[in-house]
Amino acid sequence: MSLQLSDEQSLLQQSVARFLERGYSFDARRKLVQSELGFSKDNWAQFAELGWLAVSLPEDVGGLGGGPLENMVVCEGFGRSLVLEPFISTAVLAARAVALADNAELRGEMLERIAGGQLLVSLAFAEAGSRYDLHHVETRASAAGNGYALSGGKIAVLDAPSADKLIVAARLSGGVRDEAGVGLFVVDRNASGLSLEHYPMMDGSRGANLALNDTPAVMLVGAERGLEVLESAVQWAIAARSAQAVGSMDASYGQTLEYVKTREQFGQPIGRFQVIQHRMVDMYMRVTEAQTMVQRVARHLDEEDAAARRIAVSGAKAFIGRRARAVGQEIVQLHGGVGMTEELAIGHYFRALTLYCSLFGSTEYHLNRYAAMTQ
C-alpha cells in the first residue's frame, strides 16, 4: 500500500523508512519505554538534523515550508515503528499554535529552537468535564506585572513530563463554555505554582495532569484569536495522529498476514481457512480506506472555510477511528493469546490504535459532531 506523494514527499518517506529500519527495532523501543525519559534524545537530535522537526514550519524561521501532507508522511512512518519521541506534541501540535502566534518575538525564538531540536513543547488544553470541547476552559488568566498569572488545571497533556515549555489555554473573560475570551500562554516547565502529575499512556508514551496556582506566563495568542489558533493546532494534530494510526494499521496487518501463513492448526496454516481469508481481506480494505481518508483530511486542512475544515476533520477521525478499532481487535484475535504479550509487537499496536480512538475526541464524539454539522 502506498500514499499518493510528490517526488519531494517520496524522498521524505524514504528517509524516514531508512532511519527506522536501521535504528528503531521493536526491542530498542521496548527499552525506551522502560527508560526514565521514555524516548531517546539522540533520536530527537537526529530528527532535527534530518529536517523532520522543521518539515512543516514556516520558512521565515528556518522551516521547510511544508504542511499537513509532509507531517502525514513522517507520522505514517512513525506509526509503523511505534515511535515514542514527542514529534506530534512538539513539531505539530505546539508548533502550529506558535506559528500562528501574535507574539512575533516569542514565535521566532520558539520555532527556531523547535526546528533545531533544542526545545520540547506540550500544548495543554483539555480539562476535567470538557468532554473534548475546546471552548470549555475554566483555567483563568489575569494580568500580573508585565505578564499574566494562570490558575486552574489541565488533564491528559501529551508528553508534558519531558517538555521544556507548556502552552496553556486559559480564559481571560467570559463563562466556562463561552467561545470568546480564550487565550494561549507560554509557561516555563519550572515556573512557580506549576505542578505535574505524571503517568504512562496506553501506548508507552508519557502524559501528565497540570495544576496551576498563580503561575507566571507570557501571552502567545490573545483572546481575539486564541480559540481559532487552538482549533487549528488540534486539527493538524488529529491529521498527524491519524496518519500515525494508519501506519500502525498497515504494519500490524502485514505482520498478521505473515503469521496466518505460518501458524498451523489441524495440519495446515490457518491462512488456508476461508474464514481467515475473509477476515484478512476485510482488514486489508479497512487499512486501504483509512489511508485514503488520511490523505483527504491532510489536503482539506488548507481549506479557507473553517466549517469545511471541521467537517473534514471530524469525518476523518470518526471514519479512521472505527477502522482502527476493528483492525486492532482483529490483529489480536488472529494471533490468539500471544497477541497480548509484551514480547510481541502486535499487542503494542493494539494499544496504540486503542489510544488513537480516544485522543483529541473519541470516535463517537466526532461522529456526532460530523452529523450535527452536515444536517
**What percent of the chain shows pLDDT beyond 70?**
99
**Is the pLDDT reported for residue 3 higher than 80?**
no
Q: What is the DSSP string of 327-367?
A: HHHHHHHHHGGGGGSTTSHHHHHHHHHHHHTTTTS-HHHHH
**Cα–Cα distance for residue pair 184/196, rounded to 1 Å:** 19
H-run or E-run covering 221 = strand 206-221
Type of residue found at 115: A
Most confident listed range (128-132, 206-210, 333-337): 206-210
> What sign does the dihedral 102-105-106-109 (CA atoms) show?
positive
- Interval 94-112: pLDDT, tens: 999 999 998 999 999 999 9
What is each CA distance from 157 to 94, 195, 222, 328, 350, in whole angstroms? 11, 12, 21, 24, 21
Half-sphere exposure of 361 (CA within 13 A, CB side): 26
Give the three-class secondary structure for 69: helix
CA pair distance 32, 16, nearest whole angstrom: 19
**Which whole number is the average pLDDT over 142-166?**
98
With pLDDT > 90 as the criterion, what percentage of the chain qualifies? 92
Is pLDDT at 263 greater than 90 in this prediction?
no
Residue spans of the domains in the chain: they are 7-115, 121-224, 228-374
Mean pLDDT of 171-198: 97
What confidence tier does 361 reach under pLDDT thresholds 50, 70, 90?
very high
Angle (CA) 189 195 196, round 5°: 85
What is the spatial distance between Cα 231 and Cα 102, in angstroms, rounded to a whole number?
16
Least confident span in 40-49, 133-142, 215-224, 330-339: 330-339
Q: What is the pLDDT of residue 4?
A: 75
Q: What is the pLDDT of residue 2?
A: 54
Helices 68-81 and 7-23: crossing angle, nearest 10°?
20
Q: Which helix (H) or strand (E) holds 212?
A: strand 206-221
- State the pLDDT at residue 337: 85
What confidence score (pLDDT) does residue 95 get? 98
Mean pLDDT value of segment 16-32 = 96
Contacts of 277 (CB under 8 A, 6+ apart): 271
Class of domain 121-224: mainly beta
* Fold that domain 228-374 belongs to in CATH: Butyryl-CoA Dehydrogenase, subunit A; domain 3 (1.20.140)
Q: Is the pLDDT of residue 295 over 90?
A: yes
Residue 1 above 60 pLDDT?
Answer: no
Can you give the pLDDT at residue 171? Answer: 98
7-115: CATH topology is: Butyryl-Coa Dehydrogenase, subunit A; domain 1 (1.10.540)
Identity of the residue numbered 38: G
**Which 8-state DSSP code applies to residue 93?**
I
Return the minimum-mean-pLDDT range out of 9-18, 51-60, 271-280. Answer: 271-280
pLDDT at 18 > cutoff 70 = yes
State the pairing for strand pair 121-124/165-171: parallel
What are the residue ranges of helices labelled H in the chain? 7-23, 26-34, 41-49, 68-81, 87, 95-99, 104-115, 226-262, 274-300, 306-335, 345-356, 363-374
Q: What value does the mean pLDDT take over residues 360-364? A: 97
Residue with the three cell numbers 463563562:
175
Tell me the pLDDT of the chain averaged across its residues. Answer: 96
